[in-house]
Amino acid sequence: MSETDIAPLRRALAEGALLLRAPELGTLSIRGKDRQTWLNGMITCDLAPLKAGQGAYGFAVAKTGKILAELRILIDDDRILVGAPRDRIALLVEHFDHYVIMEDVELEDESAKVAWAVAHGPGAKDLASLARAYGAIAAASADTSGKGGALFAFEPATVDVALERLERKGSAPARLVEEAAWEALRVEIGLGRWGKDFSEENYPQEASLEPLAVSFQKGCYLGQEAVFMLQMRGHVKKKLVPISIEGDAEVAASAEITDATGKVIGAVTSVAKGPEAGRVLALGYVKYKHATKGTAISVSGRPAVVS
C-alpha cells in the first residue's frame, strides 16, 4: 500500500476512528443470572462495575498466568457476548464449563450467529450508539489498541452495510480499513496480534498488553496469583516491543535480534513499512533488560532501536 493510500488512515486513527471487520472472532454467549459475577472470576479485566451496553477487553488465563485466549466482551441485557479467536472457542467452552459449579450460568457457542467488528481511535466511542441504531446486536466503547476504541456485534448478513453507514455518519473522521492496511498500522503503533505476536505460550506482560487487558485492582480470578506476582514482585524474561530498523530492505518476520555484543536476545514477529523513508518498523521479543525505549539493538545485522 502506498504512502498516499495509508496517510488518511493514519489521520483517522489519530483523530477519528478506523473500522475493521473481525471475521477471525468467534462468539461465546453466556446467560444466566450469575453470568457477570461468575465471568468476572474467570478473566483478567474487571466486569464488576459494568452495566448493559458497556464492554471490556481482557484475557482468559490458565492457572500459570499464561494466556488461554484474547477476549472482547459486550454486556447485553440478558447475556454476555464474548468474542475470541474462532479456534479457541471450543477450548473456552470446555475450560469455562469446568468452573461452573452451582452458579446459574449457561454457555453456548454462537459463532455462526454473530459477526464482530472493532473500531480504533479517539472517535470510536461515539460510534457505539450509532451502531445500535444501525442494527447492532450489541455495541460498546472498549479500548483494544491504546488509541481508544469500540466493539460491535452484528448479525452476519448486516455487518457490511452497517459498517459502511458508520463510515459515512460518524461525527469524527471514520474510515473502513482493510486487513493489509491495518497490519501495517498496528505494527506502527506497536500493537501485538494473537497468533502472530503472542499466543498461549505468553503471559499478558510479555505481550505488553497488561495496561489494556489486566486489572490489578479487582478481586480474585483464575490465574490471578501468577499474573499479579509477576507484575508486583518480578518481571517477565522477555517483552514484545516496537522496533525501528535502518534501511529500506525487507526484514524477515523471524529475523534475529542481537545486542551490541552480537548476542542473540530475541526475534522479530511482525514487520511493516513505516512512514519514514529509510526505515522499517517491526515488533519483536527482546530480553527484559533490553526492552526500554531507545535501547540500541541490531536486526539481521542492521542497526535498530527499541522505539
pLDDT tens, 157-169?
A: 999 999 999 998 8
The 10s digit of each residue's pLDDT in 161-190 is 999 999 988 666 899 999 999 999 999 999
pTM of the model: 0.95
The 10s digit of each residue's pLDDT in 129-167 is 999 999 999 999 999 999 999 999 999 999 999 999 999
Rounded to a whole number, what is the distance in angstroms from the first to the last CA of the chain?
A: 23
pLDDT at 276 over 90: no
At residue 188, the pLDDT reads: 96
Give the mean pLDDT of 192-212. 98
Nearest to 76 by CA among 56, 98, 91, 92: 56
The answer to whether 203 and 236 have CB atoms below 8 angstroms apart is: yes
At residue 173, the pLDDT reads: 83
Q: Which amino acid is at 304?
A: A
pLDDT at 2 over 60: no
Rounded to the nearest 10°, the torsion over CA 96, 156, 56, 42 is 0
Nearest to 187 by CA among 4, 68, 13: 13
pLDDT at 3 over 70: no
- Which has more pLDDT, 8 or 42? 42
pLDDT at 263 over 70: yes
HEC string of 11-24?
HHHHHCEEEEECCC
At residue 5, the pLDDT reads: 76
